[in-house]
Chain A
């Protein structure tokens, strides 16, 4: 029982070949890709807006947000709807298909090695058997302030 209460339930999604996790309480739903209306004059990673059951919801591309190379959207591409501080935003990821429990003690702080820049949107890394899961501070992902830093981020 004791360990269970300390578990963190996360939604696992793929980006390039890596697996990321966001705490399940931030996630509203996971959607298939649908027509995105471009909004001019916004940051490049803002793909536009979609009609999410009557609510106009902005969409950001996580690959571009993290400075990874662009990839074409395909069948497995998903939009994860997250809600933080009354902001509802959809993030485009390569795939999302898993919910797992991560024990608190399996979470380590983000690795600090030379050549990597501290990015506060990474909350920690969880090692589970042979999987490595990068846990995100999703609210930091949404802020635009440290946009400049993104380009410097090493691909950890």
Chain B
């Protein structure tokens, strides 16, 4: 059997299982006596073991096997849960994660796990618990199959009944199939798919029990029921089905719609009660699979769509936005009212469409947050601190592209908060705080932005120290330091080569962290601000755009070319008389609302023409990067527009001060100016 086609499924499910193990381990740490949690971890580990063994990843299977043994011992009360034991288990999960990642990256899934395996063995220590595993699992399966037995096609809706009746009139027969997969069948969803494919060849699948969604996500034990309409004889159908491998058994019996309808009346009351029970039970099952979704009902109204398809959809829509821009332009020029109305309507519709498409690409930030609890746990142990991590708003949604990029900066900030922010328990006690520090990770929507806040109740930022450091580093002079506002002082710690930590530790303090964080966030079109009270704690607040693909810009003209400047970095536009321009150290500056702002001639920077503008009035776009400002001199302003961000392709990378391109309504390409690159 070719395994490659299942690889993707395998990787996805492994990740899910590992994540589940991780989450549950953290729960277990808080409540070591809860054996239900151990059960859940055990189940996830067991699935992982089975899958990896079939896929031929022996290291993965081996490691999970050890893990399972330990967990089993815990379950049977032979081992007590303590932090040392959890450390080893966490370490092994880390290895599992690394192996999975390796496989996902096309590796062979090999990794030296000897050490961890030995540690696990030591914990397990003479208390072999093998053999009980299987029994337990069988018991579990038994329960589940009971559930399915009770509820075969109790809920045919009217539409289905009509279709069934009609097909009988046309000479079709209806069969109810009970298909049982072999115990050791691992990629059950794949088998189900094959069975369905066979059935589609001979007829039509009306309904299945459990539902197709559940079957697809392997949310069932080893057997399932299908209702089929076909012209073939029952024998033929059976023969075809049995050709699919790993099927243990199947029963086929005719299904009579008429008697079903008759029976339904009588059974309705009884059925109701039973269905309710079933729903409850299958709910439990769901929780096992994907914990933390207790409100989820058995039927999930979602479909899985390949991300690539969404990207294509997005691209197509972007084309549409471009054409819409063109149409708007045309309708403006012509005086046709009907055209104008139609275009306006279309704009509204496409605006709605844009919202829907963008939300389709949204993923909860939980994908990033979910790895932090373990990281925090590990770090606090390494640093000898006690920290309670609170996560709020993990379901806040962000565009996939942003999610992919935001992980590393957050890791930096959290490490920073743990290392520099929160004090050691002794110190906290001395200061009259509770020994356990708190770190809050919070995400929420506000307008067109998403905010992510990292707040600790630690030491806060020592302004004096920051200023002194800045002065010794030559970042600013004593005189300058006098006039700084608090926020400006805090911002200093995000300049490169800056670290106020007294000691350089493994975790942070080398002064490479925060400036990287700042740059990354700014490159995403976001910003970061710091609030802090000395001795009380600090808060880093990150503001991120909801999406990166469609942005609002100001179009400007420079000679023949049109350039776009993102609105997010523009403060305002101004027209300045040439006589108002001052010179400071041979640089042109203007007085903008009491501040000295240097001018940047885009013509010079972009080598458009060497001739200085001789006009009396300068059109200036004031842009900012943090607290710094600059005035970009352009020929004229065109206006504000929503544009679709496109890359310059793989060939032209790292073009100075250009962050991308966009296609205008007239089909021409306009370059997008990266104003951050123009301000030092």
Interface centre among B607, B656, B661 (most CB of A within 10 A): B661
| Residue with the greatest number of chain B CB neighbours at <10 A, chosen from A35, A48, A51, A57 | A51
Determine if A41 and B319 form an interchain contact, defined as CB atoms under 8 angstroms apart.
no
B54 neighbours in A (Cβ, 8 Å): none
Type the 1/0 row for B655-680, where 1 means its CB is closer than 8 Å to any CB of A.
11110010100011111000000000
> A115 within 8 Å of B by Cβ?
no
Contact A87:B650 (CB < 8 A) given known A40-B658, A51-B669? yes
Contact between B667 and A51, CB atoms less than 8 A apart:
yes
Q: Residue on A with the closest CB to B658? A: A39
A-facing residues in B554-575 (Cβ within 8 Å): 561
Contact B663 A54 (CB under 8 A): yes
Contacts of A35 in B (CB 8 A): 667-668
Q: Are A54 and B315 in contact (CB under 8 A)?
A: yes
Inter-chain contact B649/A58, CB cutoff 8 Å: yes
Q: Does chain B have a CB within 8 A of A75? A: no
Given that A51-B668, A54-B315 are known contacts, is A41 also in contact with B658, CB under 8 Å in the complex? yes
Q: Is the CB of B656 within 8 A of A40?
A: yes
- The answer to whether B607 touches A40 (Cβ under 8 A) is yes
Which of A46, A56, A58, A88 is in CB contact (< 8 Å) with B663? A56
B652 x A49 contact (CB < 8 A): yes
**A129 lies within 8 A of chain B by Cβ:** no
Q: Which of A49, A50, A57, A88 has the most chain B CB atoms closer than 10 A to its own CB?
A: A49
Bound-state Cα–Cα, A35 to B655, Å: 20
Q: Tell me if B651 and A58 are in contact (CB < 8 A).
A: yes
* Bound complex: CA A55 to CA B318 (Å): 11
Contacts of B605 in A (CB 8 A): 40
Per the bound structure, the CA–CA distance linking A37 and B671 in Å amounts to 8
A37–chain B nearest beta-carbon distance, Å: 4
Shortest CB-to-CB span from A88 to chain B, Å, is 6
Q: How far is the CA of A42 from the CA of B649 in the complex (A)?
A: 14
Q: Which residues in chain B, 195-230, are within 8 Å of chain A measured between CB atoms?
A: none
The answer to whether B389 has its CB under 8 Å from any CB of chain A is no
A86 nearest CB neighbor, chain B only: B650
User: Hey, which chain B residues are within 8 Å of A51, CB to CB?
Assistant: 663, 667-669
Give chain B nearest CB distance to A65 CB in angstroms.
13
Is B192 at the interface (CB under 8 A from chain A)?
A: no
Which residues of the partner chain A approach B319 to less than 8 Å between Cβ atoms? 54
| Chain B residues, Cβ within 8 Å of A56 | 646-649, 661, 663, 669
B651–A54 contact, CB under 8 A? no
Please give the distance in Å from A57's CB to the nearest CB on chain B.
6
Which of A37, A49, A54, A85 makes the CB contact (< 8 A) with B318? A54
B608 at the interface (CB under 8 A from A): yes
Interface digits, B30-71 against A, CB 8 Å rule (1 contact, 0 not)? 000000000000000000000000000000000000000000
Report how many residues on chain B are interfacial, defined by Cβ distance under 8 Å.
27
The contact of B648 among A38, A58, A142, by CB within 8 Å, is A58
The residues in A between 45 and 95 inclusive whose CB is less than 8 angstroms from any CB of B are 46, 48-51, 54-58, 85-89
Residue B260 lies at the interface, judged by CB distance under 8 Å to chain A: no
CB distance from A54 to the nearest CB of B (A): 5
Residues in chain B near residue A40, CB distance under 8 A: 605-608, 655-658
**A15-39 contacts to B (CB < 8 Å):** 35, 37-39
Q: Is A37's CB under 8 angstroms from B656's CB?
A: no
Judge whether A87 and B649 touch: CB under 8 Å.
yes
Partner of A49, one of B315, B607, B656, B661: B661
Q: How far is the CA of A56 from the CA of B667 in the complex (A)?
A: 11
Q: Please indicate which of the listed interface residues A55, A56, A85, A88 has the most CB atoms of chain B within 10 Å of its own CB.
A: A56
Q: Are B656 and A41 in contact (CB under 8 A)?
A: yes
What residue of chain A has the Cβ atom nearest to residue B670's Cβ?
A: A37
B177, CB-defined interface residue at 8 Å = no
B322 interface hit (Cβ, 8 Å):
yes
Nearest CB in chain A to that of B647: its residue: A56
Contacting pair B650 A37 (CB below 8 A): no
- A89 → chain B closest CB, angstroms: 5
Using Cβ atoms and an 8 Å threshold, which residues of chain A touch B315?
54
Cα A40 to Cα B606 with chains together (Å): 5
Max chain A Cβ within 10 angstroms of own Cβ: one of B606, B646, B649 = B649
A85 to B653, CA, bound (A): 14
Q: Report whether B648 and A39 are in contact in the complex, using a CB–CB cutoff of 8 Å.
A: yes
B671 near A41 with CB under 8 A, answer no
Flag if B652 contacts A58 (CB, 8 Å): yes
Is A42 a contact partner of B561 (Cβ separation < 8 A)?
A: no
Contact A57 to B649, CB < 8 A, known contacts A37-B661, A37-B668, A42-B655: yes
Give chain A nearest CB distance to B565 CB in angstroms.
15
Contacts of B646 in A (CB 8 A): 55-56
Q: Is the CB of A42 within 8 A of B607?
A: no
The CA of A106 and the CA of B648, in the complex, are separated in Å by 39
A72 to B600, CA, bound (A): 33
Q: Of all chain A residues, which has the CB nearest B603? A: A40
Is the CB–CB distance between B648 and A49 below 8 Å? yes
> Complex formed: what's the CA distance from A110 to B608 in Å?
40
The CA-CA distance from A51 to B322 in the complex, in Å, is: 11
Instruction: Give chain B interface residues in 624-652, CB to chain A under 8 Å.
Output: 646-652
Say how far B561's CB is from chain A's closest CB, in angstroms: 7
Give the one of B606, B608, B663 with max A CB within 10 A.
B663
Q: Which listed residue (B608, B647, B651) contacts A89, Cβ 8 A? A: B651
Interface residue from A37, A48, A54, A88 paired with B649 (Cβ < 8 Å): A88
* A57: chain B residues within 8 A (beta carbon): 649
Known contacts A39-B648, A39-B671, A49-B648: A54-B561 contact under CB 8 Å: no
Cβ contact of A42, chosen from B318, B608, B652, B667, cutoff 8 A: B652
Of the candidates A37, A42, A58, the one having the most CB atoms from chain B within 10 angstroms of its own CB is A37
Which residues of chain A are within 8 angstroms of B655 by Cβ–Cβ distance?
A: 39-42
B651 to chain A, nearest CB (A): 4
14 A-B pairs in the complex with CB atoms less than 8 angstroms apart: A40-B606, A40-B607, A41-B606, A46-B652, A49-B669, A54-B315, A54-B319, A55-B646, A55-B649, A56-B661, A56-B669, A57-B649, A87-B649, A142-B651
Other contacts beyond A54-B318, A56-B647, A58-B648: 8, CB < 8 A: A37-B671, A40-B656, A41-B657, A49-B648, A54-B319, A54-B663, A56-B669, A88-B651
